[in-house]
Amino acid sequence: MTTIVAHRGASTRAPENTLEAFRLAVEDGADAIELDVHLTADGQLAVIHDETLDRTTDRVGPVALRTMDEVREADAGASYVDPAGNRPFADRGLKVPTLDEVLAWLPEGVGLVIEIKARAAADAVVAAVADHAVRASGRLAVISFDEASIDRVRELDPDIKTGYLLVPTEPIEPALVWATEHGHVGVFPWEGDLGMDPLPLIARATAFGREIGCYVVNDPAQMQHLAACGLWGFVTDVPHVAREALGPAGA
């Protein structure tokens, strides 16, 4: 079964990286939620994609220079614009979640993919998931574009599944070798780098004991193609489209 991972939640239907987007993703049939974490000035994990509050909230400035209380003053629903051009989530009290808040909410059986955006967050991520059921379930992955971040996670807790994200056009083969040598199970290239026929790559990864995922797939025909090739999973902005394309969970 190819895993449907909701990119920042159901991020076309609600503000990205908010509990609302995560709830909708589960409703839409996602197998797992992907989210991004940064560390605040007081050492808390804020679930937000960018280094700053500017793009996704009504506040500005670097997350790393704000306390979690200051980050929580921002309206995380302020920037989302729906297809009709409205801002239906503005002024509704949506906050930048803490990772603990997401972990407390996460329904049993739903996977979690935590992307470390700031190297300084790695230790706190390992501590946050240490006693959570998702860690023991095999449905948790910690991923990053930053090699040192996932190496640090493995150093602290080798039982956490880690994954290496490749920037677009980064050669996949050397990354596969590096990930294997460093014990990272997942290798996640940009979808465009998989080419028309990802079968040889998937076979090679399987021989290495690795899993290939990719980001971000929003086209249903491509979802079906990748699933037929045996891809571990893909990140998508439209989990409802993916569920429709791949059929019911567990089928």
Give the range of 76-84, 111-119, 184-192, 219-227 binding Ca ion by CB under 5 A: 111-119
38 is catalytic: no
Told to check if 191 binds Ca ion by CB under 5 A, we report: no
Question: Is position 7 annotated as part of the catalytic site?
Answer: yes
- Count of residues that bind Ca ion according to CB under 5 A: 2
Please state whether 194 falls in left (phi above 0), alpha (psi between -120 and 50) or beta. Answer: alpha
- For ligand G3P, the binding residues in 136-175 under the rule CB under 6 A are 165
Site string for ligand G3P, 183-222 (x = CB under 6 A): -----x--------------------------x-------
* Contact with Ca ion (CB under 5 A) among 36, 75, 191, 211: 36
Q: Which does 191 bind (CB under 5 to 8 A by kind): ligand G3P, Ca ion, none?
A: none
Full 3-state SS string of 136-201: HHCCEEEEECCHHHHHHHHHHCCCCEEEEECCCCCCHHHHHHHHHHHCCCEEECEHHHHCCCCHHH
The backbone torsions φ and ψ at residue 68, rounded to the nearest 5 degrees and listed phi first, read -60, -40
Binding to ligand G3P by residue 36, rule CB under 6 A? yes
Helix/strand number for the chain, H first, E second: 10, 9
DSSP code, position 3: E
Q: What are phi and psi of 234, to 5 degrees?
A: -140, 155
Q: How far is the CB of 165 from Ca ion (least distance, A)?
A: 8
User: Strand, helix or coil at 27?
Assistant: helix
State the nearest-atom distance from the C-beta of 192 to Ca ion, in Å. 16
Neighbours of 98 (CB within 10 A): 19
**245: partner contacted, choices Ca ion, ligand G3P, none (Cβ within 5-8 A by kind):** none
Q: Which residues are catalytic?
A: 7, 49
Residues that bind Ca ion (CB under 5 A): 36, 115
Interface positions with ligand G3P (CB under 6 A): 7, 34, 36, 49, 115, 165, 188, 215, 235
